[in-house]
């Protein structure tokens, strides 16, 4: 089988949450570049408009939907509406996530006793409950169709202690890794795959763009054997693999993309 068949997602319908910037935008771009129709969701209408306009300028098919991934009811309604309008739902990236602020290795504000309840609750609502709601809504349609790809953005911070990031972030990323494994077991008989991408340090807008600060980047780069922070475009190959027929027998996996950061863990 040729590569263009193995990785073909032409004509498929995809949803990417948290797609106005960063990794979510990269996911949406690679799906659209390979001829899927992509619905980008985010709470940032301006960023969504920019992302959709860029995709369309390159000949891709995309639309925007303003959506708070911390609102479980809104997530379910949105995915039901998208599937009904398109008559199918093939690929869902549960990507939306927010930072819990810097960890205690960065600042005393990251110490356990400094964690604010409202921050903890909001991070759990988006990073864990929102991911579960996205998977659950997608699964209903994919089980009926007996096909589908669900990809979750986890983090290497969920695979080991990462003291440069906040407690709620690392806790939620660890939780979604087990959620992926659990749901993969339920959905496997329906030929629906569920996998996680676990990025290391990428230059995105999370935490208000903190990773774009040269000082912050340098601290994270020191933890990476390749000695640098990645660009969001570098995640596109893995994203396409997990969204495509090439990954038909891959499910329940957590794949680091981290420049070797977890190689010695």
How many domains does the chain contain in total? 1
Q: Does 169 fall in a domain? A: yes
Whether 260 is in a domain gets the answer no
Residue 175 counted as domain residue: yes
Between 197 and 108, residue with greater pLDDT = 197
231: Cα separation from own chain's centroid: 15
- Whole-angstrom distance, CA of residue 184 vs CA of residue 5: 24
* Options 27, 167, 169, 190, the catalytic residue: 169
Q: Are 114 and 59 in contact (CB under 8 A)?
A: no
253: number of Cβ within 10 Å: 16
Tell me, what's the pLDDT at 209?
65
- Domain contains 259: no
pLDDT in tens, 221-260: 888 999 999 999 999 999 999 999 999 999 999 999 999 9
Does 265 fall in a domain? Answer: no
Report the candidate in 216, 222, 123, 213 with the shortest Cα–Cα distance to residue 175: 123
How many separate helices (H) and strands (E) can be counted in the chain? Answer: 10, 7
Q: Tell me whether residue 22 is in a domain.
A: yes
Q: For the chain, what is the mean pLDDT? A: 94
Nearest to 188 by CA among 134, 147, 153: 147
Residue 224 lies in a domain: yes
115 domain-assigned: yes
User: Does the active-site annotation cover 169?
Assistant: yes
Alpha helices in 22-153 (DSSP H): 22-33, 45-57, 72-86, 117-124, 130-145
Domain that holds residue 146: 3-254
CATH of residue 239's domain is 3.40.50.720
pTM: 0.95
Residues 151 and 239: their CA atoms lie apart, in Å, by 8
């Amino acid at each position: 089988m040729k590569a263009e068949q193995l990785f073909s997602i032409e004509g498929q319908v995809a949803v990417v949450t948290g797609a106005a910037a960063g990794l979510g935008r990269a996911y949406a771009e690679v799906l659209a570049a390979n001829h899927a129709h992509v619905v980008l969701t985010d709470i940032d209408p301006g960023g969504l408009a920019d992302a959709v306009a860029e995709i369309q300028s390159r000949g891709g098919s995309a639309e925007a939907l303003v959506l708070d991934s911390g609102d479980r009811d809104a997530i379910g309604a949105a995915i039901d509406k998208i599937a009904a309008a398109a008559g199918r739902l093939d690929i869902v990236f549960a990507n939306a996530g927010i930072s819990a602020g810097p960890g205690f290795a960065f600042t005393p504000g990251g110490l356990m006793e400094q964690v604010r309840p409202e921050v903890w609750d909001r991070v759990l609502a988006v990073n864990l409950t929102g991911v579960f709601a996205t998977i659950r809504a997608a699964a209903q349609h994919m089980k009926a169709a007996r096909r589908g790809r669900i990809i979750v953005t986890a983090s290497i911070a969920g695979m080991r202690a990462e003291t440069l990031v906040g407690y709620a972030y690392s806790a939620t990323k660890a939780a979604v890794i087990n959620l992926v494994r659990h749901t993969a077991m339920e959905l496997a008989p329906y030929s629906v795959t569920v996998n996680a991408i676990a990025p290391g340090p990428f230059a995105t807008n999370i935490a208000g763009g903190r990773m774009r600060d040269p000082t912050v980047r340098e601290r994270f780069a020191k933890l990476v054997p390749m000695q640098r922070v990645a660009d969001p475009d570098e995640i596109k190959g893995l994203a396409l693999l997990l969204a495509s027929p090439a990954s038909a027998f891959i499910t329940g996996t957590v794949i680091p993309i981290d420049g070797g950061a977890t190689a010695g863990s």
